[in-house]
Every structure is written in structure tokens, then in C-alpha cells.
Amino acid sequence: MKNKIDELLNEVNNLAAKNLDELENLRIKYLSKKGEISNLFNDFRNVANEEKREVGQLLNELKNAAQDKINELKNSFDSSSADQQKTDLSLTADPIKLGTRHPLSLVKNEIIDIFARIGFGIAEGPEIEDDWHVFGALNFPPEHPARDMQDTFFIEQNPDVLLRTHTSSVQSRVMANQKPPIRLLFPGRVYRNEAISYRAHCFFHQVEGLYIDKNVSFADLKQALMYFAKEMFGAETDIRLRPSYFPFTEPSAEMDISCNICGGKGCPFCKHTGWVEILGCGMVDPNVLENCGIDSKVYSGFAFGMGVERITNLKFQVKDLRLFSENDVRFLEQFESAY
């Protein structure tokens, strides 16, 4: 009996199977009810009493060894067949697709970079505003028709809560809280109650600039804007300032640049004038300085505000404004490589 156990133990330890079918046959051969090991257990009653203890132990060891060996072989089939399904080393690697920055962010960042080079920092303010910061402090008297220049979204229950129509609202917040010299840009989203079409949207983006110090003049404004236009659109770009009106600047102007699409010769984009308007600007009205607690006899300053969509259109000739907010990746991913 002991010899037989030794013999089987030796066999069991050297078991090998090429596939699961072969393995199953081995299991049947050794471990099934009529298998070799079970047969030994059946013969156990014939073992002499004084040997029972020792032989019983050996038999159990043999059974465990057979079970372990079969399990081990089974596991090796499981993991190698799973590996075969998962890993095909001849496949090309999955491409990792990188996102791209939104064209409006790219252009906004370029505007910020250009003005950073002449010392402008950044400040931000809330998009949900009150009448004072959007209109009152900026010298729009109540009921003044200039308020109609910008169709405003109000909250029905509370006419003092509104969506800012321009980033000039950040001017009034900054001037009330900071002492000159102030040299800041205010980038952000603004809202106007306009029908959505290819050339108008109910929200868009502006970058506002504000510079307050002693002895700031209109010549400083013009110089800063000329520098900006040439950095943004190329050294050959010309600017012109046309007199205009904003309640918060005096004098006020609108700035055109020579059309960068036709080089000033005239094309449909500039309506054959050779010029395109890009921003509003002016010297900060002394009333605004006083409204915000700045002494207008000591300080003066200039402000300007531009639409980011407009600048982006000039750079990339996007004909339909709505594309900027439709999140079509095929449109959005074209721009980063141009920078």
C-alpha cells in the first residue's frame, strides 16, 4: 500500500496537460469516485491496524497533492488563455487624443499677453450684477436713453439684479476698492438681450482695459492702442480713432484698424471701406472717478473695451458667431495649431 501511494505521489507531482480536456481526464483518473486515489481509500480497511495511522496520513497527503496539482494546472490555463485574448502585441497603440484650447480663449490670452508686456494686470468681477456697477457709477443717469444702447437682461422680481452688459462694470468695482495707479484688464463674459443670429448672440466676451494715474493723457491711450493693434494684427496695421459717445468716457472714440483681410484696399468684410471697427475707448469721465471715490483733480485715466469674438473673427474670418458656442470639436480644434 505504501509503495502504491509513493508511486502515485510521484506521478501526481509530475502531471502535465496540454489543454483543459486533458486536465479533466487526469482529474477523473485520480480524483473521481472511481479514480485511483479513491480506490486506495477503499482498500484502506484492509490495512493492518498498527499501520492505519501512518497510511491514513500518507493517503490524505496524496489526495491533497493531487488536488493542488490539478488546481495549479487549471489556473495556468485560465491566466494564459485570458492573456491571449487581451494582449495582441502586434496591434498599434491606441492614439491618445489631446484636446485643443477654444479659439476665444486663445485670442483672449493673446490680448492679455500683449497688454501684460506694457504692465497691465488682470481683475475680474461678477456676471450677475447690480444697476449701480453696470450703469449708475458709470454715469448713466436713470431713464437715460444711453441705457438702451445695451439691451439688458433683468430679473423680473428685482430690477436691481441684472446680467452685466459690458465688462465696464468691473471698472466701477476696481476703482471703488483700489487706489491709483491702476493698470488692469478685465476679461469676461457679458450678456445682451439680442436675437441670436450669425452676427449677434445673447452672450459674448469682452476685454476691458483701465489705466488711472497722474497725468494720463489721450496721447497715452492712442499709443497703447496703436501698440496693441500692431502686435495683434501685424506691424503694417494702421489705426484711426473716430469721435463717439459713451456716458463713462469723455472724450470718447471708436477705433478702427485697416482691414487686415484686404490690407485696406476694400473687400466685403470691411464693406469696401478698408477699415473695420474693433473697440470703444476714451478718457474716464471725471464723474465716474468721483462716483468711485477717486479725486478727479489729481488723477485721470483712459479705458477701452473690445469684443473677443470680433477680434477672433478678424484673425480667423469666422463668418458665423454661433459656431463659438456650439461645441463642435471639428470646428474648435482648428485654431490651436495657428498659434
* Separation between Cα atoms, residue 65 and residue 36, nearest integer Å: 14
Min separation Cβ 302 and ligand PHE, Å: 8
* Bridge partner residues of 303 (DSSP): 210, 282
Min separation Cβ 164 and ligand PHE, Å: 10
Determine if 332 is a binding residue for ligand PHE (CB under 6 A): no
Residue closest to ligand PHE, measured at CB: 305
Given CA atoms 44, 47, 52, 57 in this order, what sign does their dihedral have? Answer: negative
Between residues 275 and 304, which has the closer beta carbon with respect to ligand PHE? 304
- Positions 181 through 240 that interact with ligand PHE (CB under 6 A): 208
Min separation Cβ 240 and ligand PHE, Å: 16
Between residues 188 and 282, which has the closer beta carbon with respect to ligand PHE? 282
Min separation Cβ 226 and ligand PHE, Å: 17
Between residues 141 and 263, which has the closer beta carbon with respect to ligand PHE? 141
Between residues 62 and 107, which has the closer beta carbon with respect to ligand PHE? 107
Q: Cell 484636446 maps to which residue?
A: 99
Determine if 152 is a binding residue for ligand PHE (CB under 6 A): no
* Separation between Cα atoms, residue 328 and residue 221, nearest integer Å: 38
Between residues 190 and 270, which has the closer beta carbon with respect to ligand PHE? 190
Determine if 166 is a binding residue for ligand PHE (CB under 6 A): yes
SS (H, E, C) the chain: CHHHHHHHHHHHHCCCCCCHHHHHHHHHHHHCCCCHHHHHHHHHHHCCHHHHHHHHHHHHHHHHHHHHHHHHHHHHHHHHHHHHHHCCCCCCCCCCCCCCCCHHHHHHHHHHHHHHCCCCEECCCCCEEEHHHHCHHHCCCCCCHHHHHCCCCEECCEEEEEECCCCHHHHHHHHHHCCCCEEEEEEEEEECCCCCCCCCCCEEEEEEEEEEECCCCHHHHHHHHHHHHHHHHCCCCCEEEEEEEECCEEEEEEEEEECCCCCCCCCHHHCCCCEEEEEEEEEECHHHHHHCCCCCCCCEEEEEEEEHHHHHHHHHCCCCHHHHHCCCHHHHCCCHHHC
Determine if 125 is a binding residue for ligand PHE (CB under 6 A): no
- Residue selected from 30, 204, 246, 275 as contacting ligand PHE according to rule CB under 6 A: 246
Min separation Cβ 150 and ligand PHE, Å: 7
Min separation Cβ 277 and ligand PHE, Å: 11
Question: Of the candidates 213, 284, 189, which has an alpha carbon nearest to the alpha carbon of residue 246?
Answer: 284
Applying CB under 6 A, the site for ligand PHE has a residue count of 11
Between residues 252 and 258, which has the closer beta carbon with respect to ligand PHE? 252
Between residues 169 and 258, which has the closer beta carbon with respect to ligand PHE? 169
Min separation Cβ 149 and ligand PHE, Å: 7
- Residue selected from 139, 152, 172, 249 as contacting ligand PHE according to rule CB under 6 A: 249
Min separation Cβ 117 and ligand PHE, Å: 21
Between residues 237 and 252, which has the closer beta carbon with respect to ligand PHE? 252
> Residue 61 phi/psi, 5° resolution?
-60, -40
Residue window 273-312: x/- pattern of binding to ligand PHE, with contact defined by CB under 6 A: -------xxx--------------------xxx-------
Min separation Cβ 101 and ligand PHE, Å: 25
β-strands 203-213, 300-307 pairing: antiparallel
Determine if 168 is a binding residue for ligand PHE (CB under 6 A): yes
| Interface ranges with ligand PHE (CB under 6 A) | 166, 168, 208, 246, 249, 280-282, 303-305
